[in-house]
Structure 1
């Protein structure tokens, strides 16, 4: 089994190496100290299994999981139990809570070999974990082995384009493979408003609203960009004025 280790702490990586060394069928093909290194290494080396820390600088474990895609099998390794629910929503095979014993590590590796997590193990962790659904602070866009990080505060608007979204930020447009409705649920609803079925608008970038025809309106942004506004979108914007 080809394995990658991702953790910003050297001692944590050393412990994983030691645990994996006891298994003759495991080959460590990559060892990464941050999320950017991990995304590049996983794209190039295609390990079968990744032991992934969650709290890391630059890119955290969930952002790495988003960028590498669902085909890569993951075991999250962290000192924090509150992320367990989100980890299993990412289809993690297991969730190792630091400090873990050799027996618990071997159990997680056995789960990975079997391609499944016992239901009882998931239920136990979920009962102990608290879900923390916070709005995104940044949007990640993968371009091959490169990663573009866009702070949410810098986004002017987002436009739907079939199965993609075009994210407009600092005068540039970035294409991301994601549905507009899905991204909408991940952003701060007090900051991003669905003004049209194809547009999400950062209300901080709104300059004014003008009539386009007798029954339609258009949003004028601070840079002069014109965004169509549906009837329901106009009602939402009117509510902001109150």
Structure 2
């Protein structure tokens, strides 16, 4: 079998050590780089073009999933994760390979065998990762920033800087004090991932930061609209109006 060029991306040194130790039993796998965070991993993948990566999901700065979003052509991925079982279902549904920490040598072998079979049979589907990224497992707790790729850089947007989000098919437009940024993810994901104390789904197409509200006023018959501090006007659905009344206590 041809050499399988491999990168390990994990912020925990012991986790990288364990993968390196287990891989010694598989001579076809060649470790070409180890990375301690998503930024290092992104650079290494772009420069070295590995066949396979072992990728931790929860890392500081940029998570494993955020890193994958920034890649045009992600390699084959074996996720290493401490996600709970209910979140793991998302990996199973998308036929993705994962190792639930802490994993045994036998469980590691199963993941390796699956990857090798896919590579040898040339049945690796590059769209699996792209489809998975659109609506990944929900994070532990809430997110405090969103990572987006612009033409020239990677932009990290603090949640506090978001004015509102607008659904656009399989994408979400994020409006901030610096401008707007498009991200390929669902509104449903952000509705659950952003802090519900500050972000409310006021409409099928809009999720707003309540700290940006200037006023709420009637609009046509039996409907309302919200005016933001920058004078942006957005429609409010009946459900959204009920949520706003509950949250803002009016």
Whether the aligned pair in 2 keeps the contact of 1:77 and 1:98 (CA below 8 Å) is no
> Between Structure 1 and Structure 2, how many residues are aligned?
225
Q: In structure 1, what is the equivalent of residue 231 of structure 2?
A: 224
Q: In structure 2, what is the equivalent of residue 34 of structure 1?
A: 37
Within 5 Å, give how 1:1-242 maps onto structure 2. Answer: 1-10=4-13, 12-65=15-68, 67-68=70-71, 72-77=75-80, 80=82, 82-83=83-84, 85-87=86-88, 89-90=90-91, 91=94, 92-95=96-99, 97-98=101-102, 100-101=104-105, 104-115=107-118, 133-143=140-150, 146-239=153-246, 240-242=248-250
* Mapped partners of 2:55, 2:85: distance in 1: 13
Q: CA deviation at 1:10?
A: 4.3
Q: Which is further off, 83-92 or 134-143?
A: 83-92
**RMSD between aligned residues:** 3.4
Q: In structure 2, what is the equivalent of residue 121 of structure 1?
A: none
SS at match of 2:142: coil
**TM-score (norm: length of structure 2):** 0.71
Q: CA deviation at 1:192?
A: 1.8
1:36-74, Cα deviation, whole Å (9 max, x unpaired): 121233345443321123443212334435555896433
Q: In structure 1, what is the equivalent of residue 134 of structure 2?
A: none
Q: CA deviation at 1:231?
A: 4.1
For structure 2, the 5+ residue unaligned runs are: 120-137
Whether the aligned pair in 1 keeps the contact of 2:62 and 2:147 (CA below 8 Å) is no
* Mapped partners of 2:160, 2:204: distance in 1: 22
SS at match of 2:230: coil
CA change 1:163–1:108 in 2 (3 A) is closer
Moved over 6 A (4+): none
SS at match of 2:231: coil
* Mapped partners of 2:168, 2:179: distance in 1: 16
1:65-108, Cα deviation, whole Å (9 max, x unpaired): 55558964332346x4x54553552454131534744x554443
CA change 1:111–1:84 in 2 (3 A) is farther
* Mapped partners of 1:94, 1:160: distance in 2: 30
For structure 1, the 5+ residue unaligned runs are: 117-130
Whether the aligned pair in 2 keeps the contact of 1:96 and 1:108 (CA below 8 Å) is no
* Mapped partners of 1:64, 1:51: distance in 2: 13
CA change 1:193–1:26 in 2 (3 A) is same
CA change 1:31–1:177 in 2 (3 A) is same
